Amino acid sequence: MATRTNLTALLLATALPLAACSGDGSRTPAAGDGTLVIDTSFDLKTADPGRMYETTGMFVNKALYDTLLTFDGSDVKKPVPALAKSFELSDDGKVLTLKLRSGVKFSDGSPLTADDVVFSLNRVRGMKGTPSFLLEGVEVAKTDATTVTMTSKVPNPALPYILPNPVLSILNSKVVMKHGGTTDPKDKAEKYLNSASAGSGPYKLESLSVSSKVVLRANPEYYGRKPAYGKVVIRNVEAATQKLNVQRGDSQVALNLSGDQVKTVAGSLEVLKTASANVIYLHATRNKSVSKTTPNPKFAEAVRKGVDYQGLLELAGAGSVQAPGMIPSQILGALPQDQAAKRDVAGAKAALKASGLKNPKVKLEYPSEITVNGLPFQPLAERIQSNLKDVGITVDLAPAPISTAADNYRTGKEEMGLWYWGPDYPDPSDYLVFLPGKPVGQRVGWKPGTDKAVEDAGEKAATVLGEAERRQAYHDMQTELNDSGPFIPLIQPSQNIVSATSVTGLKYHPVWTVDVADLGAK
């Protein structure tokens, strides 16, 4: 992915287990003593917002820092003010003007200024780290003491949806510069930001270990509603131990249980089941030097009609939904469920016959050791193999370690692949990468100029302004993509979050998973 060349959200590292805490089953949740314990499987490299782009880092930094804009709860279809008290996008979509909120202080008590905003955003772009692409082609300037403008070279209606990402947090520029912070690749502030926070968020960083535990303390200088918990402990725990811990009261929240695991959760616990924003999909290369079979458009049609989508949902568990297109249901432009593909074995056989292919055999590659929302790829691959056998397509399964699978994916060597995509930011423009000639399209040999209808629909979607107009344009783009593209969207697996009944306000968010500051205690 151009936007995800590191496959950061895609290629989650296997978490190091943390031993379960002791418990006799009689302990009550810790909300009464002001401490909240959250267990999750770490995907964490740093707490430096400008260098962070991992799942765990997103919700850690959401607690430590504030952004100019944010989202209200789990709703990602409308950005709302945060550090900016108001914002306005110009009629041509090129200039975003933000008026800053007054009275905001950093955790050391110093006031937030427009200079801090300009430094922070220029630092992200100038360091050339993983998240720098978010501000590519965007100039940030201070208009006056309370106004900042962001100017894009081309219409950029996605910018208000990008700004809530925790990687674009606003830092105390004086403190960060004192510790080696710059707005170029020579920046050396990461070490400091992994030991102390320089933000204005509801919490401060007490300690951080990227392999075991993060400890947060409430920020007394926070301008907003004071957090319910004085201390938050985030631990790196494998899923089976997460379940054990939350059941016996050694933690209050478990973030990574699978659909099967939550079926047998015992005790007085709350279980939040909702479709994640991750879309699991198949792709079939159009590169004729990689495959003599999959570039045939009728082959892709046969696969699309041959998959038993309801069977995949059964594997994924309650809360999962079928993905009608590549844009997930939470994001503007998602296709309605009535446009989702349905299994049609007779139609699949007819398409295969029309392809002229005789007893085709293909290799399906996927990562062997990672899971998506607790769901492993192996049972999905086996079910797809069985489905396509019914059609007359032989599928050889080729699971591989993540490093091997990812390399084949990036370099376009896969004949067929089973992968997933999570949003860089909750705007449909993040999914233009699947079009011909774009980063993911290129990886499956879909060259520019090979599908005019899809490319024209994508070009229109990328430039149109207005919510209703954008929604329709992305509907049209995905319809064209489904009709003739090499990608077959399958399912959005469930995000299962288990919590003690003492924890309130828990909502799933597709970018930062959980907003710790929203969690209450009773």
Pick the more confident residue, 191 or 24.
Answer: 191
pLDDT at residue number 403: 80
Query: Cβ distance 412 to 369 under 8 Å?
Result: no
For range 502-507, the mean pLDDT:
94
Average pLDDT of the chain, as a whole number: 91
pLDDT value at 239 more than 90: no
- Measure the CA–CA gap between 414 and 107, rounded to whole angstroms: 49
List the beta bridge partners of residue 449. Answer: none
Q: Where would I find the beta strands (DSSP E) of 165-252?
A: 203-208, 213-218, 231-236
For range 385-411, the mean pLDDT:
94
Q: 279-492: which CATH topology?
A: Dipeptide-binding Protein; domain 3 (3.10.105)
Helix (H/G/I), strand (E/B), else coil: 290? coil
pLDDT value at 289 more than 60: yes
How would residue 263 be classed by pLDDT, with cut points 50, 70 and 90? confident
- Measure the CA–CA gap between 31 and 249, rounded to whole angstroms: 11
- Min mean pLDDT across 20-34, 476-490, 501-515 is at 20-34
pLDDT value at 475 more than 70: yes
Q: Could you tell me what percent of the chain has a pLDDT over 90?
A: 81
pLDDT at residue number 318: 85
321-350 pLDDT, tens digit per residue, is: 999 999 999 999 999 999 999 999 999 999
- Min mean pLDDT across 40-44, 134-138, 157-161, 453-457 is at 40-44
Domain boundary assignment for the chain: 30-274+496-521, 279-492
pLDDT at residue number 182: 97
Prediction pTM value: 0.83
Q: What number does CATH give the domain 30-274+496-521?
A: 3.40.190.10
pLDDT value at 190 more than 80: yes
- Min mean pLDDT across 126-130, 166-170, 321-325 is at 126-130
